[in-house]
Amino acid sequence: MHIINISPAVGIAFLAVLTNASPVSSSIDSMSKDWRPAFASGMSMASSIDSGTSMASIALLGADSATTVRGEVWNSCPFAIWVRQAVAAYSSGPTSQECEHFGETQMVKLPSMTKYVARYKAKMDQCGHVLKVARNSAQDLNVYQVEYSLDPQSKRMWYNLSGEDGAPFQDQERYLTGLGPSGTCPFVACDSGEWGKDPEHGCDWPLQPVCESIGPVVAIMCGKMEGNGDNSGESDDWPVIYG
């Protein structure tokens, strides 16, 4: 187990079950799932956000004014991985406008103990962004996906891990969180060997945190975050590769 000692503080949040975000095809337009998450909950209940908590979506309110989100992948694995960014063709919002930077970037090799930072930021336009993570090579089509977007109406960001197009890291820890300025975004996590859709211990889609404390969306392969959210720790010294 590799624990990275920085973490957003996680507290009491609300459980919101999504009703209109079922997986669809893996084409570039759909990014493996429906990009129309329900930001208004159909039902809610108080829930403490812990590693492996079973829920469809977690919403946490904040008071930050950031309007863009940049995705990151931190490679805590003892081996290199490969990452590329994809942006949807059209917004899932009511205008269905064309998305800026539609398409995919080139695969980038990410050595162990290195951070990948996506080239393009997600904006308040409901254009879906995906970081596709391969384990074996740049040509590997078996990719794990980090998916995120911003909703201009609710001013919230959402994010999730997806094994719909591949689960090459199932034997490793996986972790995903938002690093909003207030440090209160919820996270999801899987231990090594846990299947992402396990109803009690899963971390993949359809679990989908939602947060108003807008900031970077960070996925960690082969590790997790722990700490007090003070942005200090071993990962601060890791090299950064920009996609």
Distant-in-sequence, close-in-space partners of 57: CB < 8 Å, separation ≥ 6: 15, 16, 17, 18, 37, 38, 41, 158, 206, 207, 208, 209, 210
Contact between residue 216 and residue 70 where contact means Cβ atoms under 8 Å apart: yes
- How much is the pTM? 0.74
pLDDT at 243: 87
Q: What are phi and psi of 237, to 5 degrees?
A: -95, 0
In the prediction, which pLDDT does 1 show? 52
Q: Which domain holds residue 169?
A: 3-242
Res. 101: pLDDT tops 70: yes
Mean predicted confidence (pLDDT) in 57-75:
70
The model's pLDDT over 126-181, given as tens digits with 9 standing for 90+, comes to 999 999 999 999 999 999 999 999 988 888 999 999 988 888 999 999 999 998 77
- Report which of 110, 146, 147 is spatially closest to residue 240, judged by C-alpha positions: 110
Looking at this protein, which amino acid is placed at residue 168?
A: P
Closest by Cα among 149, 132, 151, 152 to 140: 132
Number of domains in the chain: 1
The conformational region for residue 166 under phi > 0 = left, psi -120 to 50 = alpha, else beta, is left
